[in-house]
Amino acid sequence: MNTLFSLSHNATMLIWTLLAVVFLVVFIAKFKWNPFVVLLLSSVLLGLLIGMKPNDVVGSVTTGLGKTLGTIAIVIGLGTMLGKMMAESGGAERIANTLIARFGEKRVHWAMVTVAFIVGIPIFFEVGIILLIPILFTVARKTNMPLLKIGIPLLAGLSTVHGLLPPHPAPMIAIEAFGANIGKTILYALIIGIPSAIIAGPVFGSFISKRIQVQPPAELAAQFTTKNDTNLPGFGITLLTILMPVILMLIGSVAEIADPDGTGALTVFCKFIGNEIIALLIAVVFSFFSLGFSRGFSKEQLSKFMHDCLAPTASIILIIGGGGAFKAVLIDSGVGKAIAELAVNANINVIFFAYLVAALIRVATGSATVAMTTATGIVAPVLAVAPGANIELVVLATGAGSLILSHVNDAGFWMVKEFFNMSVTQTLKSWTAMETILSVFSFILILLLSLFV
């Protein structure tokens, strides 16, 4: 009787969740309501329909919004400042010119996936977008290439390393939980991730850009456009400035791997400067000198640049916060747990099981990190009684599942939508499709690799 009640309750929750998602998409896409308002409204309605207490619903909404923006708002603010310095100094123009010269205009989308793959290794997906958007907009303007043709490869490169490649936090959690070998995991991740990023990036980007035409948001494009095409800064100092947060985060990750206990003074310091907020803050201050004062800008001009660049990000930040509120209600209401319970009852191969559990939680909660972290707790006991399974491939299957079907409950969905100036429908057809292709193709390669290792 209890089992039947549990199944009925889980099914009811999933139905209400589906209706809430449909409500959200229809009111934003068809009726053109403000996404932030609709996200909050959907969050409240879903919580009440599922049976949460009114005060708990309010608590989930405010906590989810606050936790999401606690880091992302700072990251977006600092990243936008760094992007503004890249634009005003001509740094973005210099990097764009170099990429175009080295790869050629017809192959610059291959340059974007390569840069994103490298830059994204030690940093979070959201940080990578913020760092690379000025370069993306500048390359698009200079080549007249469709924004999605070069933007989708950028997103694919960042997503691949986010879900598959250590030292990203989610893969590291799975490695520790499953007892996997980090060296083998990195090797397999590269074997799987590089071709997956190519298929989901340049190949799919070339396809979808012919069907969806978008332009960068006017205000953001204007502030990321170089005001002076002459006397550009050197490529070396510009690259050092843009890679400064990447280098610092990589230092923090290496220190954490070398000293897991984190008790040494050097490790504590490296982890401190490797925190994404501190790393971006250091990079912004460094840019004031490397791309600001050294270029002849006064302190008044730098102050004006920082003030002017933040206004266009206000709407983006609120919408991302709304996505975080919706995600929190899904988690607190038990929807993610309900999906996990349905998956646990299936008697399937452990690699497929890991992929399926992570995928279902990702769809329910909207967070790749939450999906992978939660899935490890579900998969670990199953893996313990599955002799002969390749543990490293189970880690990667969990990561691949966590990337699938990003939609309206994912803060990253709204970030991509706003930065690429797309409608909800266009974002689903481009970004969501790219994430799903990346996830499915990675999983296929994992299954093929499991035949040999």
pLDDT in tens, 206-222: 999 999 988 887 777 77
- Among 6-10, 132-136, 331-335, 347-351, name the one with the lowest average pLDDT: 6-10
What pLDDT is stored for residue 385 in this prediction? 66
What pLDDT is stored for residue 81 in this prediction? 85
**DSSP string for residues in 393-408:** HHHHHHHHHTTS---T
Output 120 or 61, whichever has higher pLDDT: 61
What pLDDT is stored for residue 343 in this prediction? 52
Q: What is the gyration radius of the CA atoms in the chain, in angstroms? A: 22
Query: Closest Cα to residue 403, out of 379, 370, 377, 438?
Result: 438
Cis amide bond preceding 217, omega within 30:
no
Output 171 or 168, whichever has higher pLDDT: 171
Name, of 113-127, 147-161, 384-398, 408-422, the range with top average pLDDT: 147-161
What pLDDT is stored for residue 225 in this prediction? 60
Q: Give residue-wise pLDDT tens across range 146-162.
A: 999 999 999 999 899 88
What pLDDT is stored for residue 344 in this prediction? 56
Whole-number mean pLDDT of the chain?
81
Integer Cα distance of 43 and 61 in angstroms: 7
Determine the 3-state secondary structure of 260 from DSSP: coil
For the chain, first and last CA: distance in Å?
Answer: 44
Query: Given a cut of 90, is residue 314 above it in pLDDT?
Result: no
Query: Given a cut of 70, is residue 347 above it in pLDDT?
Result: no
C-alpha torsion angle, residues 421, 214, 413, 309 (rounded to 10): -30
Angle at 148 between CA 146 and CA 154, to 5 degrees: 125
* pLDDT-above-70 percentage for the chain: 86
Query: Given a cut of 90, is residue 336 above it in pLDDT?
Result: no
Q: Give residue-wise pLDDT tens across range 369-396.
A: 667 766 776 677 677 766 677 888 999 9
Q: Give residue-wise pLDDT tens across range 271-301.
A: 898 887 888 899 999 999 998 898 888 989 8
What pLDDT is stored for residue 193 in this prediction? 92
Integer Cα distance of 131 and 148 in angstroms: 17
Query: Given a cut of 70, is residue 195 above it in pLDDT?
Result: yes
Q: Give residue-wise pLDDT tens across range 48-87.
A: 998 899 999 999 999 988 877 777 778 778 877 887 787 7
The two structure tokens encoding residue 394: 């189970």
